[in-house]
Amino acid sequence: MKISKLYKIFIALAIVFIVFLITGKVHANSINSINMDIYIDSSGIAQVTEIWNCTATSGTEIYHPYSNLGNSQITNLAVTDGNTTYTTLSSWNVNASFDSKANKCGINYVSDGVELCWGISSYGTHTYTVSYNISNFVSELTDAQMAYWTLIPSNLSNSVGSVNIKIHSSINFPQTIDVWGYGQYGAPCYVQNGSIQMSSNGSLSASEYMTILAKFPLGTFNLSNKLNNNFAYYQNMASQGAVSYSSPSTPPPYSTFYGILSTIAPILIFILFAAISIFARKGSNISSLKLDFGKDGKKLPKDIPYFRDIPCGGDIFRGYFIAYNYGIMKNKTDFLGAVLLKWLKENKIQIQKKMVRENIS
């Protein structure tokens, strides 16, 4: 059967709908993955190396914000893109042009912290290596030492494909180190092979974040940043209004709902696609309809006279509709002739001969 335009439109719409359900959203820029390696030296200073895989089709820059730095400072920012080493500027203008930001990086100071910025330089997919230092990454409390940082903030992007974080030191962290993670339900945070490991365990939505809280025994690091509070004070602060990675085993209702939806979505898509296909095939081409003409079907008798009354009770228009769609009358101009013959039979028109003089010059 010939596929009609209507059927093609339904197929196209179904494909678009399926792609939309699978991808969820379509964004001009995306962060495909972030891998962070954080090394803490004996003085509690963090040497951070991040690898960002990003796809950009618009905008001028990419940035990683930090807020609530307290007594800490971020220094020695450096960015590379493949074999290209970016120039680090002493100040960063977020309103600068695309060309002004190309192959450059810098720190933008805002009211509640800083933004580590670098130019997109060229659209497409790039892998950026970003490095910097954070002073006082570990603080000394009255009863313990602590690392408490939001490493991946919310609204960093519409979504982040995956995040993996490793925190380590020259000291192998024992399994007895207490660690907590906040910001995304179900993401693991644990000590393995002497280092702290965190993972988004899949994509990170715009509303989710990744915060680490680690408790070290006094004397683990030689620290100068001392705070006059105990560990319970900051643990309570981290827990207020937060979703912990080590939340109760029963997932929240929205997590269960989306888990079920992701499971049945392929089945629903298949049923929808099949229903659209059947509907489109039945309604797409009127010439495929199997009209019922009685026991002989659409077969015409062999003894049809050359002249007979108009079929369909004299309704010539209905007769034309059936004849044309069943291939009896392929030329549409034949219908005009049939109408003229009908009018002639009903004496609505007359044929007259008339002499016309032709001028010859």
Least confident span in 87-91, 102-106, 188-192, 300-304: 300-304
The percent of residues in the chain predicted with pLDDT above 70, rounded, is: 59
Decide if pLDDT at 92 tops 90: yes
Query: How high is the mean pLDDT of the chain?
Result: 78
Least confident span in 38-42, 62-66, 174-178, 184-188: 184-188
pLDDT in tens, 232-287: 999 998 887 665 554 333 333 443 444 455 456 566 666 766 666 665 555 555 44
pLDDT in tens, 57-71: 999 999 999 999 999
DSSP string, 261-311: HHHHHHHHHHHHHHHHHHHHHHHS-GGG-----STTTTPPPTT--SS---T
pLDDT in tens, 19-54: 444 444 334 589 999 999 999 999 999 999 999 999
The single-letter DSSP state of residue 226 is B
Q: What are phi and psi of 317, to 5 degrees?
A: -70, -40
CA 191, 193, 199: angle at the middle one, nearest 5?
Answer: 50
- Classified as helix, coil or strand, 125 is strand
pLDDT in tens, 93-141: 999 999 999 999 999 999 989 999 999 999 999 999 999 999 999 999 9
Q: How far is residue 281's CA from residue 289's CA, in Å, rounded to a whole number?
A: 11
Residue ranges of alpha helices (H) inside the chain are: 5-23, 98-101, 231-239, 253-283, 316-325, 333-345
pLDDT in tens, 297-352: 555 555 555 555 666 666 666 666 666 665 656 565 666 666 666 676 677 666 66
Threshold 0.85, pTM exceeds: no
CA 231, 234, 238: angle at the middle one, nearest 5?
Answer: 135
- Classified as helix, coil or strand, 195 is strand
> Which tokens is 146 given?
């602590």
Instruction: List, in sequence order, every residue forming a beta bridge with 196; answer none if it has no partner.
Output: 167, 191
Sign of CA dihedral 331, 336, 342, 345: negative
Q: How far is residue 212's CA from residue 181's CA, in Å, rounded to a whole number?
A: 5
DSSP string, 235-263: HHHHHTT--BTT--SSPPHHHHHHHHHHH
Q: How far is residue 35's CA from residue 326's CA, in Å, rounded to a whole number?
A: 67
